[in-house]
């Protein structure tokens, strides 16, 4: 994995072919670039894979929202002079991808959503009434995964640190509320680009009926399921995730 590149106000990592087609990966609210490690390794031989770090915990609290993150991604894509991109988002990253794509459909060749918010999501925790309790946090994080092995002490400690920082918890709650308010149901029928909905069958955060609703509303979508998989398929079932995505991108390149 490459080091983070700092370029003005942007931070990102870049892998693969400089002259290859652009594949941009957007992480979720508690996600990190390492969540996409297997995806990056698989696609960097044929794609220019770019993973921006979204300023989830550094943007001004007053303007923290899904819309503000989409504007950040707009500026990043313009700064990188990217066109005809394949845009992939997980969870909140999928929602940001949707808001960006609605405003700039000419930039997005393909859209890939996996466990995306934008219609409905089971919030991580309303107000975190027991955020000091690591066992409570562990139980909440467990909802994200089908396989409990992914609920590591390191992940619990990272979430514990975030939710016990006053400024960070305010941003987390603002983003969660913004995601609920910013429902995309009315906009989705206008998304005409090829769209892959790549969903875990055991997703508890954005359950299967959410994927089915996306599929019904989007005119050029393909819905693919991954079994024994929760809210982060690229982590839990990376080989199957990459296989399905690779085949779909080959058909829509």
DSSP string for the chain: -PPPEEETTEEEEEEE-TTSPEEEEE--SS--GGGGHHHHHHHTTTSEEEEE---TTTS-GGG-SHHHHHHHHHHHHHHTT--SEEEEEETHHHHHHHHHHHH-GGGEEEEEEES--SS----S-SS-TTTT-HHHHHHHHHTT-SSGGGS-HHHHHHHHHHHTSHHHHHHHHHHHHHHHHS--TTTGGG--S-EEEEEETT-SSS-HHHHHHHHHH-TTEEEEEESS--S-HHHHSHHHHHHHHHHHHHHT-
Instruction: Tell me if the pTM is above 0.85.
Output: yes
Give the per-residue pLDDT at 237: 96
Spatial CB neighbours of 216, under 8 Å, sequence gap ≥ 6: none
Percent of the chain with pLDDT strictly greater than 70: 95
From the list 177, 44, 39, the residue with the least C-alpha distance to 114 is: 39
pLDDT digit string, tens, across residues 36-60: 999 999 999 999 999 999 988 888 8
Burial of residue 205, with CB atoms counted within 10 A of its CB: 0-12 exposed, 13-18 middle, 19 or more buried: buried
Residue 247 has pLDDT above 80, yes or no: yes
Domain 5-121+183-251 has CATH 3.40.50.1820: yes
Residue 181 has pLDDT above 80, yes or no: yes
The whole-chain average pLDDT of the chain stands at: 90
From the list 92, 78, 108, the residue with the least C-alpha distance to 35 is: 92
pLDDT digit string, tens, across residues 107-149: 999 999 999 999 988 765 444 545 557 777 788 788 889 998 9
Pairing of strands 85-90, 22-26: parallel
pLDDT digit string, tens, across residues 225-244: 999 999 999 999 999 999 99
Give the per-residue pLDDT at 129: 46
Give the per-residue pLDDT at 125: 45
Mean pLDDT, range 193-200, rounded to an integer = 98
3-state SS track over 25-44? EECCCCCCHHHHHHHHHHHC
Q: CA of 148: how far to CAs of 117, 236, 241, 243, in Å? A: 22, 10, 19, 23
The residues spanned by each domain of the chain are 5-121+183-251
């Amino acid at each position: 994995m490459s080091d983070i590149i700092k370029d003005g106000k942007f931070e990102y990592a870049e892998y693969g072919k400089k002259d290859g087609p652009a594949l941009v990966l957007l992480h979720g609210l508690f996600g990190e670039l390492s969540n996409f490690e297997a995806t990056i390794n698989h696609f960097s031989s044929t794609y220019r894979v770019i993973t921006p770090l979204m300023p989830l915990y550094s943007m001004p609290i007053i303007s923290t929202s899904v819309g503000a993150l989409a504007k950040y991604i707009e500026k990043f894509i313009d700064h990188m002079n990217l066109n005809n991109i394949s845009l992939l988002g997980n969870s909140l990253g999928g929602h940001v991808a949707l808001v960006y794509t609605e405003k700039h459909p000419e930039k997005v060749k393909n859209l890939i959503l996996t466990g995306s918010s934008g219609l409905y999501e089971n919030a991580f925790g309303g107000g975190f009434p027991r955020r000091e309790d690591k066992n409570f946090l562990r139980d909440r994080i467990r909802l994200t995964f089908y396989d409990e092995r992914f609920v590591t002490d390191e992940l619990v400690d990272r979430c514990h640190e975030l939710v016990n920082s006053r400024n960070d918890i305010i941003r987390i709650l603002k983003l969660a509320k913004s995601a609920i308010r910013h429902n995309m149901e009315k906009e989705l029928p206008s998304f005409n680009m090829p769209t892959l909905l790549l969903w875990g069958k055991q997703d508890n955060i954005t359950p299967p009926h959410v994927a089915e609703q996306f599929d019904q509303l989007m005119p050029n979508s393909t819905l693919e399921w991954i079994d024994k998989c929760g809210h982060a398929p690229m982590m839990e079932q990376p080989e199957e995730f990459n296989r399905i995505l690779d085949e779909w991108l080959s058909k829509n390149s």
